[in-house]
């Protein structure tokens, strides 16, 4: 149902006020809603910056950039991946190449990271209590450690760090991410290895 609903939905109207110039050499770079951007082509769904004259597609700076498959398909695949659907099942259902699905996942992950850094790691989160967890993850022929943190009251996920080594650098990397989110008053650290949790230490 998700797929048919999305595929039948018309593209949203273009809105230049929600766009900004992507040219880093332009004075209007990154500035939104100031009238710098105009609609260049409705058909191609491109915008143009009045300052530098550059045009850019509406998908520039998103996970859909330079993907030549229908938007609904990309969104459906990424949604399935986010819910843990095996890549092999997606490949079989949609007739896609495995490397294509892997590339979409990588691109989406990259954009999610940028968005997270821009919105969450911007020092504006009220950090009353932070809970950090460490999880052992099995992969094919390897073991990885995922250290992640969330703000307890809001349940906001503050970030995570993946490493092949469970060491001080892993925890330090995570704490740097937490620190970027806001000022820390108190930290509660909880560690877990696989299914065996160890008691929290003061
Ligand atoms: Zn520009």
Residuewise pLDDT in 10s, the chain (202 residues): 444 444 444 567 999 999 999 999 999 998 998 999 999 999 999 999 999 999 999 999 888 898 889 999 999 999 999 999 999 999 999 999 999 999 999 999 999 999 999 899 999 898 888 889 899 999 889 999 999 999 989 999 999 999 999 999 999 999 999 999 998 766 666 665 554 444 444 3
The reply to whether 49 falls in a domain is: yes
Three-state SS at 98: helix
Number of domains in the chain: 3
104 and 159 in a single domain? The answer is: no
Task: Tell whether 186 and 136 lie within a shared domain.
Answer: yes
Per the domain annotation, does 79 fall within a domain?
yes
**54 Cα: distance to centroid of ligand 1 (angstroms):** 6
Note whether 124 and 144 are within 8 A (CB): no
146 CA from centroid of ligand 1 (Å): 40
Distance from residue 18's CA to the centre of ligand 1 (Å): 14
Burial of 49: CB neighbours in 10 Å, binned 0-12, 13-18, 19+: buried
Domain range for 35 is 13-60
Task: Tell me which of 60, 75, 90 is where a domain ends.
Answer: 60
Let me know if residue 7 belongs to a domain: no
The verdict on 134 and 190 lying in the same domain is: yes
- If you search the block for the tokens 């991410």, which residue do you land on? 177
53 lies in the same domain as 89: no
Residues 79 and 112 in one domain: yes
Is position 177 within any domain?
yes
Verify that 97 and 115 share a domain, yes or no: yes
Counting Cα atoms < 13 Å in the Cβ hemisphere of 41 gives 8
- Sheet with 156-163, side-by-side order of all strands: 156-163, 142-151, 130-139, 187-189
DSSP 8-state symbol, 200 = P
Query: How many angstroms separate the Cα of 27 from the Cα of each of 19, 40, 41, 65?
Result: 15, 19, 23, 23
The SS3 of residue 159 is: strand
In a domain, 3, yes or no: no
Cα-Cα-Cα-Cα torsion 51, 12, 113, 151, nearest 10 degrees, comes to 120
Residue 185 lies in a domain: yes
Distance 140 CA to ligand 1 centre (A): 46
- CA 25 to ligand 1 center in whole angstroms: 8
C-alpha 29 to ligand 1 mean position (Å): 6
Distance 48 CA to ligand 1 centre (A): 8
Looking at the structure, tell me whether residues 147 and 162 fall in a common domain. yes
Residue 143 in domain: yes
Taking a 5 Å cut-off on Cβ, the residues next to ion ligand 1 are 21, 23, 26, 28, 49, 51-52
CA–centroid distance, 60 to ligand 1, in Å, is 13
Q: Ligand 1: distance of its center to the CA of 72 in Å? A: 30
For residues 76 and 110, membership in a common domain is answered with yes
CA–centroid distance, 64 to ligand 1, in Å, is: 21
39 lies in the same domain as 73:
no
Task: Give a yes or no: residue 201 inside a domain.
Answer: no
């Amino acid at each position: 149902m998700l797929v048919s609903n999305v595929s039948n939905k018309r593209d949203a109207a273009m809105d230049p006020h929600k766009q900004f110039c992507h040219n880093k050499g332009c004075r209007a770079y990154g500035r939104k809603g100031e009238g710098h951007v105009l609609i260049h082509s409705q058909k191609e769904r491109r915008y143009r910056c009045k300052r530098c004259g550059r045009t850019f597609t509406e998908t520039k700076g998103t996970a859909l950039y330079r993907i030549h498959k229908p938007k609904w398909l990309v969104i459906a695949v990424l949604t399935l991946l986010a819910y843990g659907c095996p890549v092999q099942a997606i490949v079989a259902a949609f007739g896609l190449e495995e490397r294509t699905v892997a590339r979409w996942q990588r691109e989406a992950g990259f954009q999610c990271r940028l968005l997270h850094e821009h919105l969450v790691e911007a020092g504006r989160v009220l950090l009353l209590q932070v809970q950090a967890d460490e999880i052992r993850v099995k992969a094919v022929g390897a073991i990885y450690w995922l250290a992640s943190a969330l703000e307890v009251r809001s349940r906001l996920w503050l970030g995570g760090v993946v490493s092949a080594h469970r060491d001080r650098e892993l925890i330090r990397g995570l704490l740097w991410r937490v620190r970027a989110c806001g000022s820390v008053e108190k930290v509660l650290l909880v560690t877990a290895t696989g299914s065996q949790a160890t008691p929290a230490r003061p």
